[in-house]
Structure 1
Amino acid sequence: MVAVNIIISVAVIIVLQFIGMLVFNWMTPFNDMEELRKGNVAVGLAMGGKFLGTAIILGVSAFTNSTIWHMALWFAVGYVCLLAAYWVLELVTPKLTLHEQLQKGNVAVGILLASVYVGMGFSVSSLII
Protein backbone atom coordinates (compact mmCIF):
# COMPACT_ATOMS: atom_id res chain seq x y z
CA MET A 1 0.00 0.00 0.00
CA VAL A 2 2.84 2.41 0.81
CA ALA A 3 4.44 1.73 -2.58
CA VAL A 4 1.17 2.53 -4.35
CA ASN A 5 0.88 5.83 -2.45
CA ILE A 6 4.45 6.75 -3.39
CA ILE A 7 3.86 5.92 -7.05
CA ILE A 8 0.65 7.97 -7.12
CA SER A 9 2.35 10.88 -5.34
CA VAL A 10 5.28 10.87 -7.78
CA ALA A 11 2.88 10.76 -10.73
CA VAL A 12 0.91 13.71 -9.34
CA ILE A 13 4.13 15.67 -8.74
CA ILE A 14 5.25 15.06 -12.33
CA VAL A 15 1.87 16.15 -13.70
CA LEU A 16 1.81 19.28 -11.52
CA GLN A 17 5.38 20.17 -12.53
CA PHE A 18 4.46 19.73 -16.20
CA ILE A 19 1.33 21.86 -15.84
CA GLY A 20 3.34 24.52 -14.05
CA MET A 21 5.92 24.69 -16.81
CA LEU A 22 3.19 24.72 -19.47
CA VAL A 23 1.47 27.71 -17.87
CA PHE A 24 4.79 29.56 -17.63
CA ASN A 25 5.33 28.83 -21.33
CA TRP A 26 1.94 30.38 -22.15
CA MET A 27 2.92 33.57 -20.33
CA THR A 28 5.58 34.46 -22.88
CA PRO A 29 4.72 35.53 -26.43
CA PHE A 30 7.51 33.34 -27.79
CA ASN A 31 7.96 29.57 -27.73
CA ASP A 32 10.33 28.66 -24.89
CA MET A 33 11.32 25.35 -26.46
CA GLU A 34 12.12 27.00 -29.79
CA GLU A 35 14.31 29.54 -28.01
CA LEU A 36 16.12 26.70 -26.25
CA ARG A 37 16.70 24.97 -29.58
CA LYS A 38 18.27 28.20 -30.83
CA GLY A 39 20.62 28.13 -27.84
CA ASN A 40 19.09 31.10 -26.01
CA VAL A 41 20.91 30.94 -22.68
CA ALA A 42 18.75 33.64 -21.09
CA VAL A 43 15.58 31.63 -21.71
CA GLY A 44 17.33 28.50 -20.45
CA LEU A 45 18.27 30.24 -17.20
CA ALA A 46 14.76 31.59 -16.70
CA MET A 47 13.23 28.19 -17.44
CA GLY A 48 15.64 26.53 -15.03
CA GLY A 49 14.61 29.00 -12.35
CA LYS A 50 10.94 28.31 -13.04
CA PHE A 51 11.54 24.60 -12.79
CA LEU A 52 13.50 24.90 -9.53
CA GLY A 53 11.00 27.33 -8.01
CA THR A 54 8.08 25.03 -8.73
CA ALA A 55 10.08 21.97 -7.63
CA ILE A 56 10.88 23.62 -4.29
CA ILE A 57 7.21 24.37 -3.69
CA LEU A 58 6.18 20.87 -4.78
CA GLY A 59 8.83 19.22 -2.62
CA VAL A 60 7.87 21.10 0.52
CA SER A 61 4.15 20.68 -0.08
CA ALA A 62 4.63 16.93 -0.63
CA PHE A 63 6.75 16.65 2.52
CA THR A 64 4.43 18.62 4.78
CA ASN A 65 1.01 17.40 3.67
CA SER A 66 -0.57 14.03 4.31
CA THR A 67 -2.88 13.97 1.30
CA ILE A 68 -2.37 14.50 -2.39
CA TRP A 69 -5.21 17.03 -2.42
CA HIS A 70 -3.55 19.19 0.23
CA MET A 71 -0.24 18.91 -1.61
CA ALA A 72 -1.90 20.04 -4.85
CA LEU A 73 -3.69 22.87 -3.07
CA TRP A 74 -0.48 24.21 -1.52
CA PHE A 75 1.29 23.84 -4.84
CA ALA A 76 -1.46 25.93 -6.47
CA VAL A 77 -1.07 28.62 -3.80
CA GLY A 78 2.70 28.65 -4.22
CA TYR A 79 2.45 28.62 -8.00
CA VAL A 80 0.15 31.64 -8.02
CA CYS A 81 2.80 33.41 -5.92
CA LEU A 82 5.46 32.56 -8.54
CA LEU A 83 3.24 33.95 -11.30
CA ALA A 84 2.55 37.06 -9.24
CA ALA A 85 6.28 37.57 -8.67
CA TYR A 86 6.86 37.65 -12.43
CA TRP A 87 4.06 40.17 -13.04
CA VAL A 88 5.12 42.37 -10.12
CA LEU A 89 8.68 42.39 -11.44
CA GLU A 90 7.33 43.27 -14.88
CA LEU A 91 5.35 46.17 -13.37
CA VAL A 92 8.22 47.60 -11.31
CA THR A 93 10.60 47.53 -14.29
CA PRO A 94 8.57 49.45 -16.91
CA LYS A 95 11.64 50.30 -19.02
CA LEU A 96 12.69 46.65 -19.12
CA THR A 97 10.19 44.33 -20.81
CA LEU A 98 11.29 40.99 -19.43
CA HIS A 99 10.03 38.69 -22.19
CA GLU A 100 11.57 40.91 -24.88
CA GLN A 101 14.91 40.87 -23.10
CA LEU A 102 14.77 37.10 -22.72
CA GLN A 103 14.01 36.63 -26.38
CA LYS A 104 16.97 38.87 -27.25
CA GLY A 105 19.17 36.60 -25.13
CA ASN A 106 19.85 39.03 -22.27
CA VAL A 107 21.58 36.66 -19.83
CA ALA A 108 21.40 39.20 -16.99
CA VAL A 109 17.60 39.15 -17.19
CA GLY A 110 17.65 35.34 -17.32
CA ILE A 111 19.74 35.20 -14.16
CA LEU A 112 17.51 37.76 -12.45
CA LEU A 113 14.36 35.82 -13.27
CA ALA A 114 15.91 32.49 -12.24
CA SER A 115 16.87 34.04 -8.91
CA VAL A 116 13.42 35.52 -8.40
CA TYR A 117 11.72 32.18 -9.09
CA VAL A 118 14.04 30.17 -6.83
CA GLY A 119 13.91 32.80 -4.09
CA MET A 120 10.14 32.98 -4.27
CA GLY A 121 9.97 29.18 -4.20
CA PHE A 122 11.95 29.14 -0.95
CA SER A 123 9.97 32.02 0.53
CA VAL A 124 6.58 30.59 -0.31
CA SER A 125 7.65 27.16 0.94
CA SER A 126 8.23 28.63 4.38
CA LEU A 127 4.52 29.47 4.48
CA ILE A 128 3.52 25.89 3.73
CA ILE A 129 5.26 24.45 6.78
Structure 2
Amino acid sequence: MSPFILTLLYFIAAVVIVVIGLVIFELVTTKYKDWEEIKKGNSAVALSIGGKIIGICIILAFSIYTNDSIPQTVLWGGYGVVLQLVAYYLFDFLTRRFTVEMELKNGNVSVGIVSMCVSIGLAFVVGASIT
Protein backbone atom coordinates (compact mmCIF):
# COMPACT_ATOMS: atom_id res chain seq x y z
CA MET A 1 0.00 0.00 0.00
CA SER A 2 1.19 3.51 -0.76
CA PRO A 3 2.76 5.29 2.22
CA PHE A 4 0.50 8.27 1.52
CA ILE A 5 -2.65 6.14 1.73
CA LEU A 6 -1.33 4.32 4.81
CA THR A 7 -0.56 7.63 6.53
CA LEU A 8 -4.05 8.88 5.74
CA LEU A 9 -5.57 5.71 7.21
CA TYR A 10 -3.47 5.99 10.39
CA PHE A 11 -4.47 9.66 10.64
CA ILE A 12 -8.17 8.83 10.32
CA ALA A 13 -7.86 6.02 12.87
CA ALA A 14 -6.08 8.34 15.32
CA VAL A 15 -8.67 11.11 15.00
CA VAL A 16 -11.52 8.64 15.50
CA ILE A 17 -9.85 7.08 18.56
CA VAL A 18 -9.10 10.47 20.13
CA VAL A 19 -12.66 11.71 19.55
CA ILE A 20 -14.19 8.50 20.94
CA GLY A 21 -11.79 8.69 23.90
CA LEU A 22 -12.78 12.27 24.67
CA VAL A 23 -16.48 11.43 24.44
CA ILE A 24 -15.98 8.51 26.83
CA PHE A 25 -14.04 10.71 29.26
CA GLU A 26 -16.73 13.35 29.22
CA LEU A 27 -19.53 10.83 29.73
CA VAL A 28 -17.80 8.86 32.47
CA THR A 29 -15.65 11.27 34.45
CA THR A 30 -17.02 14.77 34.47
CA LYS A 31 -19.97 16.46 36.06
CA TYR A 32 -19.52 19.34 33.64
CA LYS A 33 -19.12 19.76 29.89
CA ASP A 34 -15.43 19.89 28.96
CA TRP A 35 -15.84 22.01 25.85
CA GLU A 36 -18.17 24.48 27.59
CA GLU A 37 -15.53 24.96 30.29
CA ILE A 38 -12.83 25.43 27.66
CA LYS A 39 -15.04 27.95 25.83
CA LYS A 40 -15.33 29.89 29.11
CA GLY A 41 -11.55 30.01 29.33
CA ASN A 42 -11.04 27.32 31.96
CA SER A 43 -7.33 26.63 31.52
CA ALA A 44 -7.34 23.81 34.07
CA VAL A 45 -9.83 21.78 32.05
CA ALA A 46 -7.98 22.63 28.82
CA LEU A 47 -4.71 21.33 30.29
CA SER A 48 -6.37 18.14 31.49
CA ILE A 49 -8.05 17.49 28.12
CA GLY A 50 -4.86 18.39 26.27
CA GLY A 51 -2.97 15.85 28.35
CA LYS A 52 -5.49 13.17 27.49
CA ILE A 53 -5.22 13.96 23.77
CA ILE A 54 -1.42 13.91 23.86
CA GLY A 55 -1.42 10.76 26.00
CA ILE A 56 -3.65 8.85 23.58
CA CYS A 57 -1.59 10.07 20.62
CA ILE A 58 1.68 8.98 22.27
CA ILE A 59 0.29 5.47 22.70
CA LEU A 60 -0.87 5.48 19.08
CA ALA A 61 2.55 6.66 17.91
CA PHE A 62 4.35 3.85 19.74
CA SER A 63 1.88 1.40 18.26
CA ILE A 64 2.46 2.69 14.73
CA TYR A 65 6.24 2.46 15.25
CA THR A 66 6.07 -1.18 16.29
CA ASN A 67 3.06 -2.74 14.55
CA ASP A 68 2.35 -3.59 10.97
CA SER A 69 -1.36 -2.99 10.82
CA ILE A 70 -4.00 -0.40 11.38
CA PRO A 71 -6.22 -2.85 13.32
CA GLN A 72 -3.41 -3.40 15.85
CA THR A 73 -2.98 0.34 16.21
CA VAL A 74 -6.73 0.79 16.75
CA LEU A 75 -6.64 -1.97 19.39
CA TRP A 76 -3.72 -0.29 21.20
CA GLY A 77 -5.48 3.06 20.91
CA GLY A 78 -8.60 1.66 22.57
CA TYR A 79 -6.48 0.06 25.25
CA GLY A 80 -4.73 3.40 25.72
CA VAL A 81 -8.08 5.15 26.26
CA VAL A 82 -8.98 2.58 28.93
CA LEU A 83 -5.60 3.00 30.65
CA GLN A 84 -5.91 6.81 30.53
CA LEU A 85 -9.27 6.44 32.26
CA VAL A 86 -7.69 4.20 34.91
CA ALA A 87 -4.93 6.79 35.38
CA TYR A 88 -7.52 9.52 35.88
CA TYR A 89 -9.35 7.54 38.55
CA LEU A 90 -6.07 6.62 40.21
CA PHE A 91 -5.06 10.29 40.29
CA ASP A 92 -8.45 11.20 41.75
CA PHE A 93 -8.16 8.41 44.35
CA LEU A 94 -4.67 9.50 45.43
CA THR A 95 -5.80 13.09 45.96
CA ARG A 96 -8.17 12.44 48.83
CA ARG A 97 -7.95 16.00 50.15
CA PHE A 98 -9.81 17.32 47.12
CA THR A 99 -11.87 16.14 44.16
CA VAL A 100 -10.02 16.46 40.87
CA GLU A 101 -13.22 17.12 38.92
CA MET A 102 -14.30 19.98 41.15
CA GLU A 103 -10.84 21.53 41.20
CA LEU A 104 -10.69 21.41 37.40
CA LYS A 105 -14.18 22.89 37.10
CA ASN A 106 -13.14 25.65 39.52
CA GLY A 107 -10.18 26.46 37.28
CA ASN A 108 -7.37 25.18 39.51
CA VAL A 109 -4.54 25.28 36.96
CA SER A 110 -2.18 23.41 39.27
CA VAL A 111 -4.50 20.41 39.26
CA GLY A 112 -4.85 20.75 35.48
CA ILE A 113 -1.08 20.64 35.06
CA VAL A 114 -0.67 17.57 37.27
CA SER A 115 -3.58 15.86 35.47
CA MET A 116 -1.91 16.59 32.14
CA CYS A 117 1.42 15.25 33.39
CA VAL A 118 -0.17 12.05 34.70
CA SER A 119 -1.78 11.41 31.30
CA ILE A 120 1.38 12.13 29.32
CA GLY A 121 3.76 10.39 31.70
CA LEU A 122 1.77 7.18 31.87
CA ALA A 123 1.29 7.25 28.09
CA PHE A 124 5.07 6.98 27.72
CA VAL A 125 5.10 3.99 30.08
CA VAL A 126 2.29 2.29 28.14
CA GLY A 127 3.92 3.18 24.84
CA ALA A 128 7.29 1.80 25.89
CA SER A 129 5.62 -1.46 26.90
CA ILE A 130 4.27 -1.85 23.35
CA THR A 131 7.75 -2.08 21.89
Q: Which residue of 2 aligns with 1:32?
A: 34
Please say if 1:69 is aligned against 2:74. no
Compute the TM-score of the two structures, normalised by the length of structure 2: 0.92
Stretches of structure 2 that go unaligned for 5 or more consecutive residues are none
- State the partner residue of 1:11: 12
Cross-structure match for 1:53: 55
Matches within 5 A, 1:43-122: 43-122=45-124
Deviation by residue 1:33-81 (Cα, 9 ceiling, x = unmatched): 1001111111111111111111101111122111111111112222221
Distance 2:20 2:52 in 1: 12
Q: Which stretch of the first structure deviates more once superposed, 112-121 or 92-101?
A: 92-101
One-letter amino acid of the counterpart of residue 7, structure 1:
L
Q: Distance in 1 between matches of 2:103 and 2:95?
A: 12
Worse-superposed segment, 74-83 or 105-114: 74-83
Give the secondary-structure state (helix, strand or coil) at the position aligned to 2:96.
coil
Partner letter of residue 20 of structure 1?
Answer: G
In structure 2, how many angstroms separate the alpha carbons of the residues matched to 1:29 and 1:11? 29
Paired with 2:15 and 2:78, the residues of 1 have a C-alpha distance of 14
In the other structure, the counterpart of 2:23 is 22
* Count of paired positions: 129
* Whole-angstrom distance in 2 between the partners of 1:100 and 1:47: 15
Q: Mind listing any 5+ residue stretches in structure 1 that lack a counterpart?
A: none
Q: CA deviation at 1:5?
A: 2.6
